Amino acid sequence: MKFRVFLILALLLFCSSYLQVARCESEPDADVVETDEGGDLGIVGEDVQDFGGGSFSPAPGVETICVFPKNPSKLVLAGEEGELLVGIKNEGESSINVIAIQATVHLPFDHQYLVQNLSAQAFNNASVPPSAQATFPYIFAVSKFLQPGAFDLVGTIVYEIDQNPYQSTFYNGTIEVAEAGGLLSVESVFLFCLGIALLGLLGVWIRGQIKNFSKKTKRAPKVEVGTGTTDASMDEWLQGTAYSRSVSSKSKKK
């Protein structure tokens, strides 16, 4: 019985491993995200320089901060757009010309493994004068093929000061990616069925143990003692007493 339960459990766990294998197929990365014409940030053109391959140092006197205004829990739905706000504070002596905001998704245990390059959002006519601060929106979307789980999001803002490029990391933390299809998914349904099966096997095992225990604790049948044996033992015990002599004298008179 125990071997059979162990075999079924091992088979179910082996099948569940197939659902954990999901490849992340990155969608084609868009170089720019269009904005409305006539805005303060200007029009995003197609000839915006790609700073994804460059690595610049942060400028002194520049501070950045990141806020998820509509998503404080940092839960990102795969394939759907999310929004964050990037705040930048200029404590230097020259104006800051904000060029673009970009982000990447990495594995949480090793940032050398790049999961996805997110879209870069470029700005035009976006400057921050000295002793001032500004906030810039960044809209992003992870791939719909990305497996649900925890990932690290690294976001940087690229800017120029006196025609020298710089970049600052405004966020380097964990986000939780979930499926956009709702609560029910193939993996969740399988895990639910697996839990029901394990509970059923546990119930069968407990029932068998109770039956075995009840068989062992059954009372042994009582052994009835005949009257002949009792009378013989009483005669032997009363032998030599006054009662036995009176009984023998009465039998002789008869």
pLDDT, tens digit (0-9, with 9 covering 90-100), for 35-44: 333 334 443 4
Could you give the 3-state DSSP secondary structure of residue 149? strand
* 99 pLDDT higher than 90: yes
What is the pLDDT confidence band of residue 12, given thresholds at 50, 70 and 90?
Answer: low
pLDDT, tens digit (0-9, with 9 covering 90-100), for 217-233: 665 555 555 554 555 55
pLDDT, mean of residues 3-15: 51
For the beta carbon of residue 167, count every other beta carbon within 10 angstroms: 22
CB 188 within 8 A of CB 126: no
Residue type at position 34:
E
CB 130 within 8 A of CB 90: yes
Among positive and negative, which fits the CA dihedral 173, 174, 179, 180?
negative
Beta bridge partners of 82: 140
pLDDT, tens digit (0-9, with 9 covering 90-100), for 201-211: 888 888 887 87
Of all residues in the chain, what percent carry a pLDDT higher than 90?
A: 41
Contacts of residue 3, defined as CB under 8 A and 6 or more positions apart, other chains included, come to: none
* 48 pLDDT higher than 50: no
**64 burial type by CB count under 10 A (0-12 exposed, 13-18 middle, 19+ buried):** buried
Sheet holding 132-140, edge to edge: 62-67, 82-90, 132-140
**Residue in this structure with the two tokens 């990495």, named with its chain if needed:** 106
Contacts of residue 60, defined as CB under 8 A and 6 or more positions apart, other chains included, come to: 92
Spatial separation of the C-alpha atoms in residues 80 and 189, rounded to whole Å? 23
Joined together, the tokens standing for residue 208 give 């068998």
pTM value > 0.95: no
* 4 pLDDT higher than 80: no
Q: Of 168, 171, 174, whose CA–CA distance to 51 is shortest?
A: 168
Spatial separation of the C-alpha atoms in residues 72 and 231, rounded to whole Å? 93
